[in-house]
Amino acid sequence: MAVWSDTRDAIVIAGGGIAGLSLALALKQALGSGYSIMVADPALTKTSRPDNRAYAVAAAARAMLGALGIWDVIAATAQPMTEMIVSDSRSGDVVRPVFLTFDGEVEPGQPFAYMVGSAALTAALTDACDAAGVVLRAEGVAGFDSGDTGVTIRFAGGEDQVARLLVAADGARSKLREQAGIGWVGWDYGQSGLVATIAHERPHGGRAVEHFLPSGPFAILPLTDGGRFGHRSSIVWTERAENLPALLSLDEIDMLAEIERRFGLELGEIALESPVSAHPLGFGVARRFVAERLALLGDAAHLIHPIAGQGLNLGLKDVAALAETIVDAARLGLDPGTADVLEGYERARRFDTVAMGAVTDGLNRLFSNDATPLRLARDLGLGLVDRLPALKRFFIREAAGVAGAPPRLMRGEAL
Ligand SMILES: Cc1cc2nc3c(=O)[nH]c(=O)nc-3n(C[C@H](O)[C@H](O)[C@H](O)COP(=O)(O)OP(=O)(O)OC[C@H]3O[C@@H](n4cnc5c(N)ncnc54)[C@H](O)[C@@H]3O)c2cc1C
């Protein structure tokens, strides 16, 4: 286990979620013993953090995990997504018209996304951080005071530590963002995402399915084989908040019946492989991504609807951009906590974030209702996209995160 050496060349990351841990690992691998890197998070005490979520990790994020040496550790548990189907229907509809299909390779042999278990990815990152010499501190950050030459970080237990930069990767309800006085433009969707692992009889063939139902999208996302019937998928079921208490009080048999109405019959008999967890859904973007000696990362900077499976992918793009900015500055002998350096990070990330936030917000509003004119308009729109290969290719490259000029780590290159 790495020990903190009291030096001013230090960066503290508050929040040991996937974004915070990935940044710590990227920085430690690139800067070596020249910098002390710490991740502080009270959740680091839990040896295995229970989490039934699985993420669609886009091709660019997969390339970054490859460059960090994490992909080899989790590859056996990652399911390639080889096809995606979108249907617009009501729950219980026997026939679900398919409006959009993507068969998903960005380049030959490179699927646009993989499904990866949150727990497996977090464990692999935590172990790699520990092995690389990142200091893992199982304690929250309570506050900070920024100054010209450094930032004094106050831990929950009362101890202080000085660093060049504090990275707030403390999630969507970031207290550190609040303390820095950074505003948040956001709203609650009045929806929750219900997540569970489902066992099924027939193979999914790597196909992801998204049914746009009136209360919100219902996604069936392929996982690696296993479980009671030999095959597994993860569901992300968006439901209106007012329906939640009744749904969550159902016993297993009735809950399964509700899931079956939405899941459909194509994959044969189904069973619950995990408890059903509920995650309130909202939207938000921070007004600034940086403040004096502070940078926001991941959900602390932006929160989006899971409709397109892009929230964590946005956070991993932040990681690639912030790591590149800090490492390039440090190698030139510059102080990575200064405003000039941090503003480079903000410029690199704000536009992309606001654009993705607007797309996911618009999609959710367009699809989470049952008004007939809207149904017709969106079905016509989806049908058109389906007939235009160039447009489809554009969407695939955007979803895979390989459009434009991604940072070095997202191209699979070392820093
Ligand atoms: C239903 C659902 C499905 C999703 N599916 C996908 C998907 O398929 N693909 C995708 O890309 N994204 C998806 N997302 C989004 C994804 O879950 C988030 O974007 C991602 O988990 C955010 O990671 P993070 O590291 O930024 O923050 P978090 O995971 O929220 O981690 C924040 C950490 O900070 C810690 N913390 C809090 N306060 C402090 C403090 N004061 N000091 C120190 N530590 C602190 C917490 O303990 C926590 O560990 C989904 C989201 C939902 C709700």
As a whole-number percent, the residues of the chain with pLDDT over 70 amount to 82
With a CB cutoff of 8 Å and minimum separation 6, the contacts of 269 are 200, 201, 229
- Phi, psi angles (nearest 5°) of residue 322: -70, -40
Provide the pLDDT confidence category of residue 91 given band limits of 50, 70 and 90: low
> Are 294 and 176 within 8 A, CB to CB?
yes
Ligand 1 pocket: which of 22, 38, 55 to mutate (most atoms <8 Å of CB)? 55
List beta partners, residue 115: 56, 79
For 10-49+119-186+283-369, CATH gives 3.50.50.60
- The reply to whether ligand 1 has any atom less than 6 angstroms from the CB of 315 is yes
- Candidates 319, 203, 213; CA nearest to 262 is 213
Region label for 206, one of left (φ > 0), alpha (ψ between -120 and 50) or beta (otherwise): left
How far apart, in Å, are the Cα atoms of 238 and each of 71, 193, 208, 278, 369? 29, 5, 16, 9, 12
pLDDT at residue 243, rounded to an integer: 93
Query: Does residue 163 register a pLDDT over 70?
Result: yes
In tens, the pLDDT along 101-157 reads 666 566 767 788 899 999 999 999 999 999 999 999 999 999 999 999 999 999 999
Map tokens 């297993």 to a residue.
252
Q: What is the DSSP letter of 306?
A: G
Q: What is the DSSP letter of 223?
A: -
Q: How many CA atoms lie within 13 A of 350 on its CB side?
A: 12
- The reply to whether ligand 1 has any atom less than 6 angstroms from the CB of 216 is no
- The reply to whether ligand 1 has any atom less than 6 angstroms from the CB of 312 is yes
- DSSP-derived 3-state class of residue 91: coil
Q: Which amino acid is at 29?
A: Q
pTM to 2 decimal places? 0.92
Lowest mean pLDDT across 80-94, 196-210, 218-232 = 80-94
299 CA from centroid of ligand 1 (Å): 6
Average pLDDT (55-61) is 93
In tens, the pLDDT along 343-384 reads 999 999 987 787 777 777 767 676 666 666 666 666 666 665
- Phi, psi angles (nearest 5°) of residue 64: -65, -45
- The reply to whether ligand 1 has any atom less than 6 angstroms from the CB of 116 is no
Two tokens, residue 21 = 């841990």
315 CA from centroid of ligand 1 (Å): 9
Q: What is the distance between the alpha carbons of residues 254 and 56, in angstroms, rounded to a whole number?
A: 28
Helix H or strand E segment including 273: none
How far apart, in Å, are the Cα atoms of 293 and each of 8, 156, 336, 362? 13, 20, 9, 34
Q: What is the distance between the alpha carbons of residues 114 and 120, in angstroms, rounded to a whole number?
A: 13
Residue nearest atom 2 in ligand 1 by C-alpha distance: 306
List beta partners, residue 231: 200
Tell me what percent of the chain is helix, strand and coil, each rounded to the nearest 5.
Answer: 40, 30, 30
Q: What is the distance between the alpha carbons of residues 370 and 355, in angstroms, rounded to a whole number?
A: 26
With a CB cutoff of 8 Å and minimum separation 6, the contacts of 190 are 240, 241, 242
